[in-house]
Amino acid sequence: MNWNFIPLALGEAISPTTAAYALATIGLVVHFGFTGLVNFGQAGFMAVGGYAFAITTLKLDWPFPFAVLATIVASVLFAFVLGIPTLRLRADYLSIVTIAAAEIIRLSVKTAEIYDVTGGSTGLNGAADTFQALNPIPPGNYGIGVLRFTAPDLWTMIVGWALVLLACLLVWALMRSPWGRIVKGIREDEDAVRALGKNVFSYKMQALVLGGVLGGLAGALFILPRSLQPDNYGTQLTFFLYTIMLLGGATTIFGPLLGSAIFWVVLSLSDGLLTLGVDAHVLPISSTQQGPIRFIIVGFALMLLVIFRPQGILGKRIEVFFRA
């Protein structure tokens, strides 16, 4: 029997994909956890960021820093498009519009007419080239035991996690400031905050933009180790991010990191265990059923979590108690 899948699964905790999910979830925490904005379209922000990065890099030959800038600008614009019509209305409108907008993005990039720009349903390949050209790590094979990384892998990981930590620092600095006090107040009762002379619409917009930019950057980070595929940005991506957020704690700074790591480790551990079971003919399932069953396991774990630890792993119990 091959038990190599265990260290490999644990290695998922530090993979660039885990970092990308953590970053997108930090954005979601800004929206949902701190400001009370129910954004069901974080996958849309990731798609906008990913496409902005890939198109400016591949089609316009922009250098890496400018492509990053384009990613940020595109996310800001997307946040405005979603926020301006909905943030004055009741909270539910934002959730409806975001879920729809994310799907519109995913479906419209597949249109044949713009195949030259977006690559249709096959997506875009090679957006990481300008990024890897900046890689200072000498080529080689790094790591311990079966957990090996190439130089490009390592470079993506280092930059990805640095970005995640930077985002944590930014959100932490904001949330301890009077700015953070206002958005948390808005989460509790926006009319009360309005009555105290704060421009609630403007703060909701700022929070939407901040979380959206983090989502957009996560979208760019997500395609560094892989090609850009429109179908990676379906609603299920948003729900994975919600899972990660609830796992770590919706109002915590480091929850998304922990949640993302656990999510990916559990997903790949259960995959490894299922493979063992299927190969040994212990489990009465085929290998095609394996994929969905992993998610059933994750869903089940989430159910238990919500029942026994609704505040998430790092959250405070008392916060759930006082939530009306």
Partner 1 sequence: MSELIAGEPAPGVAKRDPILVADHVTRRFGGLTAVDVEHVEIPAHAITALIGPNGAGKTTFFNLLTGFDKPNTGHWTFRGEQLAGVPAFRVARRGMVRTFQLTKALALLSVIDNMLLGASNRAGENFFAALVPAAWRARDAQLTEKADELLRKFRLDTKRDDYAGSLSGGQRKLLEMARALMSDPALVMLDEPMAGVNPALTQSLLRHILELKEQGMTVLFVEHDMHVVREIADWVVVMAEGSVVAEGSPETVMSDPAVIDAYLGAHHGTDLGTVRGRLEVAEGMESELVRSEVEGEAAGDGR
Instruction: List binders of partner 1 among 54-73 (CB under 8 A).
Output: none
CA angle 90, 91, 93 (to 5 degrees): 80
- Among the listed residues 18, 71, 86, 206, the single contact to partner 1 using CB under 8 A: 206
Instruction: List binders of partner 1 among 225-264 (CB under 8 A).
Output: 251
**What string of DSSP letters covers 183-252?**
HHHHHH-HHHHHHTT--HHHHHHHHHHHHHHHHHHHHHHHTSSS-B-GGGGSHHHHHHHHHHHHHH-TT-
189 binds partner 1 (CB under 8 A): yes
- Among the listed residues 178, 280, 284, 286, the single contact to partner 1 using CB under 8 A: 178
267 binds partner 1 (CB under 8 A): no
CA distance readout (Å), 212 to 4, 228, 229, 259: 38, 19, 20, 19
In angstroms, the CA 58 to CA 46 distance is 18
Q: Which is nearer to partner 1, 29 or 265 (CB)?
A: 29
Q: Name the token pair of 250.
A: 């919706």
- Among the listed residues 19, 193, 221, 247, the single contact to partner 1 using CB under 8 A: 193
- Among the listed residues 84, 181, 291, 300, the single contact to partner 1 using CB under 8 A: 181
Q: What is the dihedral of CA 90, 22, 134, 69, to 10 degrees?
A: 10
Contact segment (CB under 8 A) with partner 1 among 43-51, 146-154, 181-189, 216-224 equals: 181-189
- Among the listed residues 61, 129, 188, 279, the single contact to partner 1 using CB under 8 A: 188
187 binds partner 1 (CB under 8 A): yes
Burial group, residue 141, by CB count within 10 angstroms (0-12, 13-18, 19+) = exposed
Q: Write the DSSP symbol of residue 88.
A: T
- Among the listed residues 110, 132, 137, 194, the single contact to partner 1 using CB under 8 A: 194
Site string for partner 1, 302-321 (x = CB under 8 A): ----------------xx-x
* Torsion sign over Cα 33, 34, 37, 40: negative
- Among the listed residues 60, 162, 196, 285, the single contact to partner 1 using CB under 8 A: 196
91 binds partner 1 (CB under 8 A): no
Kindly provide the b/e burial profile for residues 37-47, where b requires at least 16 CB atoms within 10 angstroms of the residue's own CB.
bebbbbbbbbb
213 binds partner 1 (CB under 8 A): no
199 binds partner 1 (CB under 8 A): yes
279 binds partner 1 (CB under 8 A): no
Q: Please give the residue ranges that form the binding site for partner 1 (CB under 8 A).
A: 170, 173-174, 177-182, 184-185, 187-189, 191-200, 206, 210, 251, 318-319, 321-324
